Amino acid sequence: MKKLKQIYKAIEDYFYDHPLFRNICECIFTLIIAATSSFIYAYNFRAFVAPLFEGQNAIVTGGASGVSQIIQKIAELVGVPVDEQIGNSSIGYIIQSAFYVIVNIPLLILAYRKIGKKFAIFSVINISLYFVFANTIPESICSIYYENSYGVELQMFGRAVFSGVLTGVSASLAIIHGHSAGGIDIISVYMTEKNTNSSIGKISMTVNTGIVVVYAILTFIGVGNLSFLTMALYSFVYFFVSSTVTDSLVIRNKKESLQIITSNEQIPDMLISYFPHSATIVQGKGAYSKQDKLIIYIVLSTNEVKRCTKIVHEIDPNAFIVSTKVNSLNGRFYIAPHK
């Protein structure tokens, strides 16, 4: 373990001395993450969301793809033969893919102007790779789930759950590494930048609920009965699972309050030098030892807590630290902006 730490420190020092090489490696790594994220979502869409098999109803996905599903449904209502094949793809699939791009264009402009240039560029790469994978993944791989599942109800519930998990993982991979998978993720990231108390999963769930309601109304107009309600309910299961997974993995906006009790007066200055947050100091006294103590209050991002604890205990091994999750914060709190 000590040897691994030495190697890690040497690599860290090398990157610090060679910023250009570090930036190149970061871009390559982000590109690999974008490819992984887009592949997961492409497989998810082909295998679980809207598989090209007769008799399989599509889960309403929400976001940009959900809007494109609404456009496809409108086209179907006005008489467009969405099931007719052109080459290897149906007209409905072509309409859905085209409007997925059209919906994403203004969102990507928003990302470029309001979130970050690097964020927008890698989001474009992620979306582009999604189309490559969605049209090249072998159909035999996508059909594995259906060949080994029993019972329509169990199959549909499984589609909703597995699809939600994969969507959450795909979105989280992208967001954690400084970009997005497009669609509603861009809006969610933008809104959480404006309000650090909100979460990406909750925002996505709210917007997607509106999308599935619109889709349900259009479906009712088309079929004239309530047979679509089951699929709408499975779509809500999908939204719940995907938003829960996303909020569990993306901790950028999550915060914790630390109460540090110590007798070392260097710790407050060390905390301010290591983290972009200030702290509040209260003078206290140990009830048993009667010694003077510093009670330091500081709010950190969740991903900073482990490092803070390590730094404090390196300076004062006897420091007493209490961590509490922060559900709501009002006031100035710094979170590094997306690049």
Residue 37 within any structural domain of the chain:
yes
pLDDT in tens, 111-130: 999 888 999 999 999 988 98
Instruction: Write down the pLDDT at residue 165.
Output: 92
What is the C-alpha to C-alpha distance for residues 116 and 179, in angstroms, rounded to an integer?
9
Instruction: Give the pLDDT score at 322.
Output: 92
pLDDT tens digits for range 253-302: 888 999 999 988 888 888 898 888 888 899 988 888 888 888 999 999 88
Tens-place pLDDT, residues 139-168? 777 766 655 555 545 577 877 888 889 999
Regarding whether 233 and 86 lie in a shared domain, the answer is yes
Q: Are residues 161 and 12 in the same domain?
A: yes
**239 and 289 belong to one structural domain:** no
CATH code assigned at 266:
3.30.70.120
Q: What is the share, in percent, of the chain residues with pLDDT greater than 90?
A: 18
Q: Quick one: which H or E segment has residue 258?
A: strand 255-262
Tell me what the mean pLDDT of segment 310-336 comes to: 86
Q: Considering the chain, what percentage of its residues have pLDDT values greater than 70?
A: 86
Q: Could you say which of 200, 216, 249 is where a domain stops?
A: 249
Q: Do residues 17 and 145 both lie within one domain? A: yes
**Per the structure, how many domains does the chain have?**
2
Q: Which of 209, 228, 185, 181 is nearest to 76 (CA)?
A: 228
Q: What is the mean pLDDT of residues 185-204?
A: 85
Residues 210 and 266 in one domain: no
The 10s digit of each residue's pLDDT in 36-93 is 999 998 888 877 776 544 444 567 777 887 888 788 888 878 777 766 777 666 777 7
Q: Are 13 and 158 part of one and the same domain?
A: yes
Both 123 and 137 in a single domain?
yes
Residue 49 and residue 137 in one domain: yes
Tell which of 249, 269, 297 closes a domain.
249
Residues 221 and 269 in one domain: no
Positive/negative CA dihedral, 239, 240, 241, 246: positive
Burial class (CB in 10 A: 0-12, 13-18, 19+), 106: exposed
Q: Which domain holds residue 264?
A: 255-326
Q: What is the spatial distance between Cα 255 and Cα 275, in angstroms, rounded to a whole number?
A: 13
Predicted pLDDT of residue 109: 92
| Average pLDDT rounded to a whole number, residues 213-242 | 80
**In sequence order, what DSSP letters do the residues of 24-64 get, joined into one string?**
HHHHHHHHHHHHHHHHHHHHHIIIIIS-S-TTPPPPP--HH
Q: In this structure, are 44 and 155 located in the same domain?
A: yes
235 and 264 part of one domain: no
Among candidate residues 249, 274, 289, the one where a domain is terminated: 249
333 located within any domain: no
Asked whether the predicted pLDDT for residue 208 surpasses 90, the reply is no
The pair of three-digit structure tokens given for residue 3, joined into one six-digit string: 């040897």
With respect to residue 332, please indicate whether it lies within any of the assigned structural domains: no
- With cut-offs at 50, 70 and 90, classify the pLDDT of residue 1: low
* Residue 300, in any domain of the structure: yes
Question: Does any domain span residue 334?
Answer: no
pLDDT at position 123, please?
93
pLDDT at 145: 63
Token code pair at residue 85: 């094949």
pLDDT, position 89: 67
Whether 338 maps to a domain, the answer reads no
- Tell me, yes or no, whether 132 and 280 share the same domain: no
In a domain, 77, yes or no: yes
pLDDT at 309: 92
> Pick the residue with more confidence: 321 or 20?
321
9/313: higher pLDDT: 313
